[in-house]
């Protein structure tokens, strides 16, 4: 989401005639778009803020320093108190004030813009990045689920869905500009609901399918779908339309029902497995990726075993695995029976080892398969080779002409190195 929002902010700059600086020291504006979801992301952002504040102080540089995103939303004016060199703090709901901030910088004005004034989230019109063949299209924002470990509902607010016509317009626009793959975005993407005409997520997918195809967009993905909100009608629409990629990111978080309950997830491990089964029988060859959170307060060894068993049953193609870090302001922050750091790491290492085993086995079994790929660019290691990706998000390196970048081709996986396939020939 931050990536999409950064593109939208860059577009606003471009439309006003701004160009990218070679580095921060030569810029007139430095904008840091921050993320609060993980503690590590916040720590990194603090490091960057301190770096740019230090530059301003030490070299008496005059650039305007703007802090945007979730951290700006969460900490507000406190950021300015801690870092007096920061000029503007622009939370996720105050992005619509960005043109005003730019204007003030352009005029050399020191007027104070109250970025606390605009509490309602509004969607940017476009999130397109010049020259890209893949684009994010935000369709909803915020979350009402309040999973006990998650800070998103506090920094992104309650769910707001985007006007379907606006979404279709953006898809038409990016398609015309050469985008071939889009990812519909939302913190809780499948709880999309446009109240004015009752369009829910599956109805939106139904609208999107013909628009995407007409506009030249051949692959549509979505992130992140909550298993608790995954409806039968969504599965049906996906089954009817090949434009929806046969790979779904479905964050399970844990395999133990007692932990899922403590996390305030709204499904059980059994329901998750049932859902995976329903999707598999409707979508031929579909693969899954997931998020797994270990070391939640009170988690027992038996709970870990249940997670490992669930992983064994589903066999995710890949997972984002992490251990619990308490976030102040969330319910889980105050839960007793925290797991010791060492034990959390040990449990996480077992989950990672099992995932590596599954990924490796699934990928090896694919050697010899013939797939359609989107050609994304030139390989960094060899200028004669192209980087391509399948609809299942598998990376394949293949020799081929530069003229094919941005189009689709067909190839056969001949070998595997790490998690990257190689192919000998690319057929247009
Ligand atoms: S559904 Fe996702 S974004 Fe919403 S509270 Fe849970 S983890 Fe956070």
pLDDT in tens, 41-79: 899 999 999 999 999 988 888 899 999 998 888 888 899
Name the DSSP class of 28: S
C-alpha 150 – ligand 1 centre gap (Å):
6
List, for residues 370-428, the tens digit of each pLDDT value. Answer: 999 999 999 988 888 999 999 999 999 999 999 999 999 999 999 999 999 999 999 99
The CA distance from 286 to 217, in Å, is 20
Residue 263 Cα to ligand 1 middle (Å): 10
Q: What is the 249 CA–ligand 1 centroid distance (Å)?
A: 14
Q: In whole angstroms, what is the distance from residue 283 CA to residue 277 CA?
A: 10
Q: Looking at domain 124-244, does it have CATH number 3.40.50.300?
A: no
If you measure from the C-alpha of residue 82 to the centroid of ligand 1, how many angstroms do you get, rounded to a whole number?
29
Q: How far is the CA of 151 from the centre of ligand 1 (A)?
A: 8
pTM to 2 decimal places = 0.90
| Structure confidence at residue 126 (pLDDT) | 76
pLDDT of residue 74: 86
Q: Which atom of ligand 1 is nearest to the CA of 253?
A: 7
> Where does ligand 1 bind, in terms of residues with CB under 6 Å?
143, 145-147, 150, 152-153, 187-188, 226
| Whether CATH 3.30.70.2740 fits 246-365 | no
* N-to-C CA span, the chain: 33
Tokens standing for residue 362:
């699934």
Q: Nearest to residue 283, comparing CAs of 316, 243, 312, 330?
A: 243
Query: Could you confirm whether domain 2-106 is CATH 3.40.50.12160?
Result: yes
* 364 against 70, higher pLDDT: 364
Domain map (residue ranges) of the chain = 2-106, 124-244, 246-365, 370-423
- Does 246-365 match 124-244 at the fold level? yes
CATH match for 370-423 among 1.10.3470, 2.60.40, 2.40.128, 2.40.50:
2.40.50
Closest atom of ligand 1 to 264 CA is: 6
Kindly give the distance from the C-alpha atom of residue 225 to the centroid of ligand 1, in angstroms, as a whole number. Answer: 10
Instruction: Give, to the nearest 10 degrees, the angle between helix 98-106 and helix 2-15.
Output: 40
Ligand 1 binding pocket mutation candidate from 70, 92, 138, 187 (most atoms within 8 A of CB): 187
Q: State what percent of residues in the chain have pLDDT above 90.
A: 76
Radius of gyration (C-alpha) of the chain in whole angstroms: 23
In the reported structure, the alpha carbon of residue 334 is separated from the centroid of ligand 1 by a whole-number distance in angstroms of: 18
pLDDT for 303-357, tens place per residue? Answer: 999 999 999 999 999 999 999 999 989 999 999 999 999 999 999 999 999 999 9
Question: What is the position in ligand 1's atom list of the atom closest to the CA of 153?
Answer: 5
Query: Hey, which residues does 28 pair with through a beta bridge?
Result: none
Cα–ligand 1 centroid distance for 330 (angstroms): 11
Which residue has its alpha carbon closest to ligand 1 atom 8? Answer: 150
Q: What is the best residue among 143, 189, 250 to mutate for testing ligand 1's pocket, by most ligand atoms within 8 Å of CB?
A: 143
What are the C-alpha distances in Å from 409 to residues 43, 215, 244, 392, 425?
42, 18, 18, 15, 10
What's the rounded mean pLDDT across residues 271-277?
Answer: 98
Token digits for 349? 């290492």
pLDDT, mean over the chain: 93
Sign of CA dihedral 214, 216, 218, 224: negative
Determine the pLDDT at residue 117. Answer: 55
**Which DSSP string do the residues of 295-325 spell out, in sequence order?**
--TT--HHHHHHHHHHHHHH--SEEEEEE--
Q: How far apart are CA 236 and CA 172, in angstroms?
A: 24
Q: Tokens for 263?
A: 């996390």
Looking at ligand 1, which residue's alpha carbon is closest to its atom 6? 147
Q: Which atom of ligand 1 is nearest to the CA of 188?
A: 1
């Amino acid at each position: 989401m931050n990536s999409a929002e950064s593109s939208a902010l860059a577009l606003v700059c471009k439309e006003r005639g701004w160009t990218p600086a070679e580095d921060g020291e030569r810029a007139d504006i430095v904008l840091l778009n921050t993320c609060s979801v993980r503690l590590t992301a916040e720590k990194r952002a603090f490091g960057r803020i301190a770096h740019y504040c230090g530059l301003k102080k030490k070299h008496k540089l005059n650039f305007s320093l703007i802090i945007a995103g979730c951290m700006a939303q969460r900490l507000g004016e406190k950021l300015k108190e801690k870092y007096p060199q920061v000029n503007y703090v622009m939370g996720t709901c105050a992005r619509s004030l960005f043109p005003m901030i730019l204007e003030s910088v352009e005029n050399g004005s020191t007027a104070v813009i109250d970025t606390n004034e605009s509490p309602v989230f509004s969607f940017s019109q476009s999130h397109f990045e010049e020259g890209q063949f893949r684009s994010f299209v935000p369709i909803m924002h915020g979350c009402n689920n309040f999973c006990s470990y998650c800070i998103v509902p506090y920094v992104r607010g309650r769910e707001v869905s985007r006007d379907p016509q606006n979404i279709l317009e953006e898809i038409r626009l990016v398609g015309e500009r050469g985008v071939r793959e889009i990812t519909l975005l939302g913190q809780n993407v499948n709880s999309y609901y446009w109240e004015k005409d009752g369009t829910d997520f599956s109805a939106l997918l139904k609208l999107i399918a013909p628009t995407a195809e007409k506009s030249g967009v051949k692959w549509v993905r979505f992130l992140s779908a909550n298993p608790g909100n995954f409806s039968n009608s969504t599965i049906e629409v996906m089954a009817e339309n090949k434009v929806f990629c046969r790979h779904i990111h479905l964050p399970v978080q844990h395999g133990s029902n007692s932990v899922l309950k403590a996390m305030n997830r709204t499904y059980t491990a059994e329901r998750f497995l049932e859902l995976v089964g329903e999707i598999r029988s409707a979508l031929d060859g579909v693969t899954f990726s997931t998020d797994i959170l270990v070391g939640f307060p009170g988690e027992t060894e038996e709970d870990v075993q249940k997670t490992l068993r669930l992983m064994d049953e589903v066999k995710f193609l890949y997972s984002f695995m992490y251990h619990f870090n308490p976030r102040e302001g969330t319910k889980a922050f105050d839960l007793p029976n925290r797991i010791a750091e060492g034990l959390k790491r040990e449990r996480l290492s077992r989950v990672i080892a099992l995932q590596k085993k599954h990924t490796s086995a699934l990928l090896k079994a694919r050697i010899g398969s013939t797939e359609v790929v989107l050609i994304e660019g030139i390989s960094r290691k060899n200028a004669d080779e192209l980087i391509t990706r399948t609809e299942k998000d598998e990376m394949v390196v293949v020799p081929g002409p530069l003229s094919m970048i941005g189009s689709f081709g067909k190839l056969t996986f001949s070998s595997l190195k790490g998690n990257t396939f190689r192919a000998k020939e690319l057929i247009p």
